Structure 1
C-alpha cells in the first residue's frame, strides 16, 4: 500500500510563522508528513503535484459569506435575495483558493417561526444539503432578538451539538438591529457559552436621520448611499460597542471595518490589551465613493452595483491608512463579505427602483412590462423590459440591497496588491486569510495550518515568473452574479490548485472536484482569546460582579 495518496513537491511552503521549501505527503485527506524530500519508496504509487517553486499555503478560510439568504424586507417584499446558493458560491470560492467558508444563518425578527435559533440553523443546513458544496462550510448565527428563554436554552445546544460558536449582532437595519440593552443581553449570553460575538457597527438611528435629510433634498441616487453612512457613523458605533463589550467582559470581532476612524478605535482598544478583533475586506482597499459614480453619470442607477455597507472609503488616501492597519496587525482577518445580488433580477439591485414609489409613479402596464404596479408581477419581468426601466430611472439608494460579490477575488486581490507589493509578508497573508480565521472561529489546527494531522486543505499558486498578469473580467468568475465590482483590476497571480481534504477541487483553470465533497465543520471556541481576565477588574469600567 502506498505511503501517501498525494505528494506536493517543489513548493515554497508558507505558514503563519515561516516559509521554507518542503514536500507535503497527504494520506486519507490529512497531512501525513512534511519533509525536505521523500524517498523513491515513499513516492511509489502516489499522485505527484509539482508546485514548480510556487507558494503552497493553507487553503483560504472566508469567515464572512452570505449564501441562500432571503432578506426581502421592502414595502413590496422585493429585493434582498442572495443570488448564490451553496453550489455556485462554493464553486466560486474554490476557484479563488478558498477551502472553507463560514456562512450566515439569519434569524428573521418578523417571522415568529424564526424565534428558535436551532430552527434557523436547521433550515440553513437543509439549504446547504439540498445542493451540496464543493468546499467545507460552517455557520454563524445572526441573532436579531434577545428572547431570554431562547438564549438560555438554545445557545448551549448550538455550541455542544452543532459546534456553532459564533453569532453576529447588528447595530443598524430596522429589521435586524438590537438596542444597546439588547446587545448587552446577547453579549452576556454569548460570553457564558464561549460564543464569539461579531458586530456590524453602524449607528442605525443616525443613518435613518441622514437618509430622511437626503430625501428631503431629493438626494437619492446611488451615490448618496455613501453620504447616508459617513465614516463617523461606523466610528461612533464601534466605539460604543467596545465600551459595551468591556462592561460585560465579552470579546468581540468587528466585521467589515471600512474606515480608518473605526480601525483606530480598534487599535486603541487592542493597545489596552482588550480582546477586540477586526475584519476588513477587499472593497475597502479597492473602491471609493467615486465608484458610486462610475457608470455614465452620478444619477445612473447602474451605480447601485457598487452599494455595500459600510460604503467604501471616501478617497484613495483612506486606502493608505487602512493598509497601515493591515500591515501592523490591527486587522485580524481578511474576508470577502460576499453578499451577491444580481442586476438583472427584481430581487437584486433593481429593487432600488421597483420599491421606490417616486420612480414608479406614472408607470403602467401588464405582467409582461415592468411599468406595472409594484407587486409580485416583478418576479416574472422579462430581463429586457427590466433593463429598459432601469436605464431611465434614478431609483432610491435606501431600497437597494446592500452587498457586493467577492468570494472568488478575495485571495487574488490581496496576493496581488498586498503580498507582491511588499505591503505584507507571505506569512502575514496566510495569517489574515487562513490561520487567524481558523483560530478565531474554532477550527484550528484542523484548518488553517500545514502540520501532520491537519486537513489537507491547500492552495497552490502559479510560479510567479511564468504568470502573465491580466485584467479581471466577470467572465473569468464562477459566481451566479452578472458583474464584479473589480472589473478591470490587474491581477498578478491566481490559484493554480485548490485542494480540500486531499482532493483537488480546482486545477489549472477548471473545477475538477465533486459537488458533494464539502462537509459541515463542527467548531470549537475561539483560540485567539486565551487570557482569563483581559478586561481588568476596575469597577469603573467592568461589571466584574456579573
Structure 2
C-alpha cells in the first residue's frame, strides 16, 4: 500500500469542471493519488466540511518593482509571497520591468535573483518591455522567452513606459514568431494627457479627477486599436485589468468574429466604484488605479463577462504603494491626481473576496471560481498541467477552504507592507485555513511556516492561445513574412510581387 507523506481526507475536491468527494495523497512535492478512502499519511489533514481547491495563481501583481514615476512598492518578494500564501495563492507571476535605457537581460537577471532569495512560494515573472530596439526584441527578449518567460507586457499609456503603434507592430510580430503572449495595458495616452492637462489648468486636482482623466473611452479606444493591430499577424493578445463596459463589448465582439483576444479583470473593479475616490482631502487616493474604478453598471457587466467567458482570469493587480510620501502622496496633502502612484493592494484579499462575493452570493459556481482563480491562469500562461488542478501528477499546491469562516478585513490583519486596505471593515465569508505549497504546509490556521527562498522558479511552456495550430489567412502569412524579411516568393502568396524582380 502507498505510504503518503501527507494526506487531505474527507473534503470536497473541486476542479474547473466538477465538485466531488475524494482524498488527496501527496508524496514529496507531487499529488500521487486522488481517490476515496485513502489511508492517513505521515501527516493527515481532516478536511471535513471544507473544500480542497488548487492553490491560487496570481498572474498580474507588482512585487519589488519601481513604477515608471520612480516610486518603489512597499512589498518585496518575501512579504508579497507571504501575503499571497495567507490568501490561498501558491504561485505568483509579477513583472520584471524594463525602464527606458535599461537592458532587458539585466533587468530579468536582477529580478530573478531577488525572487530566488526571498519568495516562499513558487513563482515565475513576466517582462515589461518599454524599448523595441534590436537588442531588446531580437536578442534579449527571445532569450528570455526560450528560458521559460513566455509572456510579456506592454503599455499604451504612461509616458515613461508606453510604446506607439509602430513599435506595437514590431512587438506583435515578434510574439507571433516566438509564440509568446502579449499582455496589454490598453488606454489612449493622448486622451488621458489632454483631459488631465485641462483639469489641472482649471484647478481640479483632487483624487476624484483621476477617474475623469482616465475616461472610459480611452480604455475602449485603445482596446479596439490593439485588437485591430493584432489582426495584421493574427496573433493573440490579452487585455489586462479590464474595467469599462465599452472595452468589454469590444473584446466580446472581437471574440465572436474570431479574433484571438483574451481578458482579465480584478476584484476592485468587481466590488468598488468611483465614488470611493471622492472622499475628503486626499483620502480618495487610496482608491486610484489605472484604469480607474467605474460605476455599478460596469461592475455588473464584468460579473456577466466572467460568467460568459469573455474574461478568462481574475488577478489582483497588487500595486503596494503606501499612503504616505513614499507612495501615494509624494507631495503630502498637496499631491495632485497626476502625481500620486496608481494602484491598490490586493494580493492576499483577491481570492477571499472573489469566493465570498462570487461563490457564496451565487454569482459563480465553485468550478468557475477554480477556473478564474487558478486553472485558467495555469493554462493561459503555460503552467499547466503542473499547476492549477488537484490531479495526479500535479504539484501539491492546495488550499483547504472553510466556506463558512468569516473574516473582517483590516490592514492590521493582512500580511503585506502597505499599511492600508481598500476593503477596510469588509466582512468576507470563506477563507483558506490550510495552504500547501509543493507538498509543504506553509499556512495552517493562521500559523506560517516557510523560509525565504524556499519557493521555486517555474519555467513556463507555450501559452494556451498558441497550443493549437491555427490556419493563418494569406494576409497574416504575408505580413508575418514581411516582418521577418521573407523573400518575394513568400510575399507573392498574398498576391504581391517584387516589381524589381519582374524585370
TM above 0.5, yes or no, is: yes
**How far is 1:28 from its partner?**
1.0
Kindly report which structure 2 residues correspond to 1:391-470, keeping only aligned pairs within 5 A, or say none: 393-464=333-404, 467=405, 469-470=406-407
Q: Distance in 1 between matches of 2:217 and 2:5?
A: 54
* 1:287 is the counterpart of 2:272: yes
Equivalents in 2 of 1:340, 1:85: separation in Å?
Answer: 10
Residue number in structure 1 paired with 2:145 = 159
CA gap 1:127/1:133 in 2 versus in 1, 3 angstroms: same
SS in 2 for 1:493: strand
Q: Secondary structure at the match of 2:338?
A: helix
Cα distance in 2, alignment partners of residues 418 and 232 from structure 1: 28
Native 8 Å contact 1:72 1:81 kept in 2 = no
Query: Does structure 2 conserve the Cα–Cα contact (< 8 Å) formed by 1:52 and 1:463?
Result: no
2:489: which partner in 1? none
Structure 1 counterpart of 2:327: 348
Deviation at 1:301, TM superposition (A): 1.3
Q: Secondary structure at the match of 1:242?
A: helix
Deviation at residue 72 of structure 1 after TM alignment: 6.0
1:228-281 residue CA offsets vs partner (Å, 9 max, x unmatched): 001111000000010001112210101100111111111111112222110100
The question of 1:303 aligning with 2:284 is answered: yes
| Structure 1 unaligned regions, length at least 5 | 74-78, 355-389
Q: Are 1:86 and 2:77 counterparts? A: yes
Matched, 1:107 2:44: no
Q: TM-score, normalised by structure 2?
A: 0.93
For the 8 Å contact 1:201–1:238, the answer to whether it is kept is yes
Q: Secondary structure at the match of 1:88?
A: helix
Contact 2:397 2:437 in 1 (8 A): yes
Q: Is the 8 A contact 1:439 1:528 kept in 2?
A: no
Unaligned runs of 5+ in 2: 483-503
Q: Give the Å deviation of 1:10.
A: 0.9
Deviation at 1:224, TM superposition (A): 0.3
Paired with 1:487 and 1:496, the residues of 2 have a C-alpha distance of 21
SS at match of 1:105: strand
Instruction: Give 1:160 deviation, angstroms.
Output: 2.3
What per-residue deviation string (whole Å, max 9, x for no partner) do you get for residues 276-315 of structure 1? 1101001101111100013xx2xx11221111000011x2
Q: Deviations over 1:483-506 (max 9, x none)?
A: 001112220111101110010111
Query: In structure 2, the residue corresponding to 1:514 is in which secondary structure?
Result: coil
| The 10-residue stretch of structure 1 (82-91 or 508-517) with the greater mean CA deviation from structure 2 | 508-517
Indicate conservation of the 8 Å contact 1:220/1:396, yes or no: yes
Partner of 1:373: none
Cα pair 1:457 1:501 within 8 Å, conserved: yes
Q: Does the Cα contact within 8 Å between 2:233 and 2:476 map onto a contact in 1? A: no
CA RMSD of aligned residues (A): 1.7
Q: How far is the alpha carbon of 1:541 from its aligned partner?
A: 11
Q: Which residue of 2 aligns with 1:95?
A: 86
Cα deviations by residue, 1:307-338 (Å, 9 ceiling, x for unpaired): 1000011x222211211111111111110000
Measure, in 2, the Cα distance between the counterparts of 1:325 and 1:476.
Answer: 32
Count of residues paired in the alignment: 482
Determine the structure 1 residue equivalent to 2:10: 10
1: distance between equivalents of 2:187 and 2:72? 22
TM-score by length of 1: 0.85
The one of 514, 524, 536 equivalent to 2:451 is: 514
